[in-house]
Amino acid sequence: MSHHDHHQSFWTRYIFSQDHKVIAIQYTVTALFIGLVGLVLSWLMRLQLGFPGEFRFLNPGSYYQILTQHGMIMIVYLLTAILLGGFGNYLIPLMIGARDMAFPFLNMLSYWVYLLSVIVLVAAFFVPGGPTGAGWTLYPPLSALPNAAPGSGWGIKLMLVSLVIFIASATMGGLNYVTTVLQCRTKGMTLMRMPLSVWGIFIGAAMALLAFPALFVGGVMLLLDNLLGTSFFIPAVTLFGQQLPREGGNPLLFQHLFWYFGHPEVYVVILPAMGIASELIATHSRKPIFGYKAMVIAMAAIAVIGFLVWAHHMFVSGMNPYFGFFFAVSTLIIAIPSAVKVYNWLLTLWRGKIQFNTPMLFGIGWISTFIIGGLTGLPLGNVIADVPLHDTYFVVGHFHLVMGVAALMAIFGGIYHWFPKVTGRMFNETLGKLHFWVTFVGAYMIFFPMFLLGILGVPRRYFDFEALQYLPTQTAGLNIVITIAALIVGAAQVVFLVNLIWSAVRGRRAESNPWHATTLEWQTPTTPPPHGNWGAETPTVYRWAYDYSVPGAERDFIPQNVPATPTVPAGTARTV
């Protein structure tokens, strides 16, 4: 027991804890819970689309409410929270050799503010009128005018208040992550010796600090339009022959604010996932990561260019062709650093001693879904192709594969990879592989047919397609296949949860470093690590994070805290 643990009650150790590891688990459990709510909502949507009219409790209003909540929950309250709040909190101090975050109290506060945002979001399901049905992008005037969409009373107001609270939490967390990386690294841990997962979380947190203020401002202005009758986003509107008393606003202004947040938000999620995937691929192929410096530079390039592409979401809103040209070119340019990372992952795998365990399967699944999802984004980056495809299921397939499924592959792989460190126990490998194969194959069965539906012209966000005479009859069959696959993949997540809970309590005891990994979190004196992480002294770092299969070494891995001696050679970072 470390000196930090003395005189701590149950409440200060496990509830209002300032230990980054406990806070990480709190973030992860809360995010998984709200993610399950989002999963159930997706099931309800698919039941309507696969079997229209069969479920009487689903009507157009409730469908759009479900759609709105599903989108916002999955992107903001699940993916962002679990990658920055969960993985960021747990990994950063351990991987850089720190005792805790730079600001432990602020860290605790950020979690409780996040939990408050989730509670406010869920409260919308229980107020008169229900949650907002204005679409997950919350475009005005649909989200700003009374009775324009379901949930236009309390629903939209609670959604906006919840987002503002979440941004406060994300700002507290982001400042903590960035400061910790810059100020709290242990002796010898230079920036270019940090694991790529720390780089991904660090750059993602920095992007969040710059992107979230745009949504904060847009959300507050939209809230004022709803509460006080202001006209930030409401133009002159004639409703049933009567001109509304508000005018002078610009709904396109909200779109710019939303997407100036929204596209960097993609990389706030993807960059930490890229870092986690890099750990999985290097560790379980027993190979040094190929092109470490190029990987870091590519992450930084993605972060910079990610702020210059937001209006490609708005090609159909109408814009000057020169602007369209600029945003199309910047969108295609951002594919270059993404491709660099893909090549480096594949070259890391090349001729490696690949161990096809559960974490590695999810790492390979990440590469696959990221490539397919990314390639399908290329036509959407071109104005001429995006205009006919923009409001179709092609965009749904692309967006879910590249941001949803790919990110979840990295998240699941990361949870399995660090589970022994967090709990001190091993998970059930058979259940883990079952979870992977059903999720991986099922995800393609859900989203691949959507590309075909999009090319056939099936519009997204429609409650019912019966009135669309131009659609071929096969689309109904494809929607049934997608719905059945979605139900099966959703059920497979129960296997994941059962495996996690059972293994945390009854799983066999894990070694301190079961994967024979090189990074610092596997070198703690005890597993799970104590409060303070390192005992009397923090470790000293002598080498980069990926000394696997070093020629002349006794073992196929050399931890970062092992000095370079004649008998323990130093590996060389491959910088090509």
Name the pLDDT band for 287 (thresholds 50, 70, 90). very high
Quick one: 272 exposed, middle or buried, by C-beta within 10 A (0-12, 13-18, 19+)? Answer: buried
pLDDT at residue 567 in the model: 63
Question: How many structural domains comprise the chain?
Answer: 1
The tens digit of pLDDT for each residue in 185-228 reads 999 999 999 999 999 999 999 999 999 999 999 999 999 999 99
Q: Return the DSSP state at 239.
A: E
The tens digit of pLDDT for each residue in 134-192 reads 999 999 989 998 888 998 889 999 999 999 999 999 999 999 999 999 999 999 999 99
Residue 501 placed within a domain: yes
Domain hosting residue 371, numbered range = 22-234+249-523
How far is the C-alpha of 282 from the C-alpha of 299, rounded, in Å? 17
473 vs 200 pLDDT, higher one: 200
Given a cut of 50, whether residue 369 has pLDDT beyond it is: yes
How far is the C-alpha of 72 from the C-alpha of 49, rounded, in Å? 20
**Cα–Cα separations (whole angstroms), residue 171 to 58, 69, 114, 305, 470:** 37, 22, 11, 22, 48
Q: Any bridge partners for residue 509, and if so which?
A: 425
Is the link from the previous residue into 514 a cis peptide, with omega within 30 of 0? no
Query: b vs e for 503-531, b when ≥16 Cβ sit within 10 Å of the residue's Cβ?
Result: beeebeebeebebbbbbbbbbbeebebbb
Average pLDDT, the chain: 92
How far is the C-alpha of 139 from the C-alpha of 118, rounded, in Å? 21
Backbone angles phi, psi at 158, to 5 degrees: -65, -40
The tens digit of pLDDT for each residue in 374-421 reads 999 999 999 999 999 999 999 999 999 999 999 999 999 999 999 999
Residue 44 placed within a domain: yes
pTM of the model: 0.94
Residue 334 placed within a domain: yes
pLDDT at residue 9 in the model: 74
Report long-range pairs for 115-119 (Cβ below 8 Å, ≥24 apart). Answer: 115/26, 115/30, 116/165, 116/169, 117/77, 117/162, 117/163, 117/165, 117/166, 117/169, 118/30, 118/34, 118/77, 118/162
pLDDT at residue 576 in the model: 42
Residue 550 placed within a domain: no
Name the pLDDT band for 568 (thresholds 50, 70, 90). low
How far is the C-alpha of 35 from the C-alpha of 412, rounded, in Å? 13
- CA-CA-CA-CA torsion sign (37, 123, 61, 244): negative
Percent of the chain with pLDDT over 90: 81
Percent of the chain with pLDDT over 70: 97
pLDDT at residue 200 in the model: 96
The tens digit of pLDDT for each residue in 4-30 reads 444 567 777 778 888 999 999 999 999
The tens digit of pLDDT for each residue in 25-79 reads 999 999 999 999 999 999 999 999 999 989 989 999 999 999 999 999 999 999 9
- Report the SS3 class of residue 160: helix
Residues 6 or more apart whose Cβ sits within 8 Å of residue 411: 79, 82, 83, 87, 273, 276
Name the pLDDT band for 318 (thresholds 50, 70, 90). confident
pLDDT at residue 320 in the model: 87
For the residues 529-544, what does the mean pLDDT come to?
90
Given a cut of 90, whether residue 535 has pLDDT beyond it is: no
CB atoms within 10 A of CB 352: 18
Q: Write out the two tokens for 340.
A: 């660099």
Which of 235-249, 358-372, 533-547 bottoms out in mean pLDDT, i.e. has the lowest? 235-249
Residue 567 placed within a domain: no
Find the CATH number of the domain harbouring 116. 1.20.210.10
How far is the C-alpha of 288 from the C-alpha of 572, rounded, in Å? 9
Q: Write out the two tokens for 342.
A: 């893909």
The tens digit of pLDDT for each residue in 99-128 reads 999 999 999 999 999 999 999 999 999 999
How far is the C-alpha of 277 from the C-alpha of 197, rounded, in Å? 8
Residue 157 placed within a domain: yes
Residue 43 placed within a domain: yes
Q: Write out the two tokens for 223.
A: 């809230």
The tens digit of pLDDT for each residue in 427-463 reads 999 999 999 999 999 999 999 999 999 999 999 999 9
Is the link from the previous residue into 539 a cis peptide, with omega within 30 of 0? no
Q: Where are the alpha helices (DSSP H) in 288-428?
A: 292-305, 321-333, 335-349, 358-375, 377-380, 383-389, 393-399, 406-423
Residue 564 placed within a domain: no
pLDDT at residue 573 in the model: 57
How many Å separate Cα 317 from the centre of its chain? Answer: 27
How many Å separate Cα 218 from the centre of its chain? Answer: 22
**Cα–Cα separations (whole angstroms), residue 210 to 138, 203, 205, 331, 554:** 21, 11, 9, 19, 46
The single-letter code of the amino acid at 340 is: V
